[in-house]
Amino acid sequence: MSSVGNQTRMFHGTWGYLHIPSEALWCTLNPDELSLEAYHAALKNVSKMEIDPGLFLPLGWPQDNYEQVYKSQIAQVMLKYVATPSDRKKTIPLDPLSVEPISHEAPNIRMLKLMEESDNSAEGIGQVMESLQRQSGLEPEEFFGRLQLIEGDLGTSQIFNAI
């Protein structure tokens, strides 16, 4: 119910997000492997690729690292407070492999309004792309020169894949 001077509007649409990698991560990447040519070369190899279901399973090495850390901590306590080993060559290593720390920095994530006026037409996709360009703050030439739209379904509000 609306009254004079008091009205509410609800936006029904799809939102997306843009995760901008940190500068530290960018420094570790090879720019030649992030080019459009590298992307096309990788796509050419996909048709010849054999899919091994094992590639989708987690690796066992993180669990092994944690196990080594726990054992070394217990061994340190045992050596310090409880007992001495009869043969030091057969003791559990007191310095396990280091576990790679996870960054504690908050990620730079920007929310984007995707489906404001779309009607599953060429005009609709144009409106969505113009909306993204306005939200990015880039000039149209710069934005569309960088955007590589891979796929998207406006009718069912599916995910836009873009690089």
Which residues are bridge partners to 109 per DSSP?
19
> Which pLDDT value is given to residue 77?
92
Q: How far apart are CA 117 and CA 124, in angstroms?
A: 7
Q: Extract the tokens encoding 154.
A: 């406006």
Determine the Cα–Cα distance for residues 163 and 161; give it in Å rounded to an integer: 7
Instruction: Supply the pTM of this predicted model.
Output: 0.43
pLDDT tens for each residue of 68-127 = 888 899 999 998 899 888 887 888 888 877 777 778 888 888 887 766 555 556 666 677
Residue 157 has pLDDT above 50, yes or no: no
Q: What is the pLDDT of residue 10?
A: 46
pLDDT in tens, 137-155: 889 888 888 776 666 655 5
What are the CA-CA distances from residue 45 to residues 12, 39, 40, 107, 117 (Å)?
40, 10, 9, 32, 38
Q: Where are the domains of the chain?
A: 60-105, 110-163
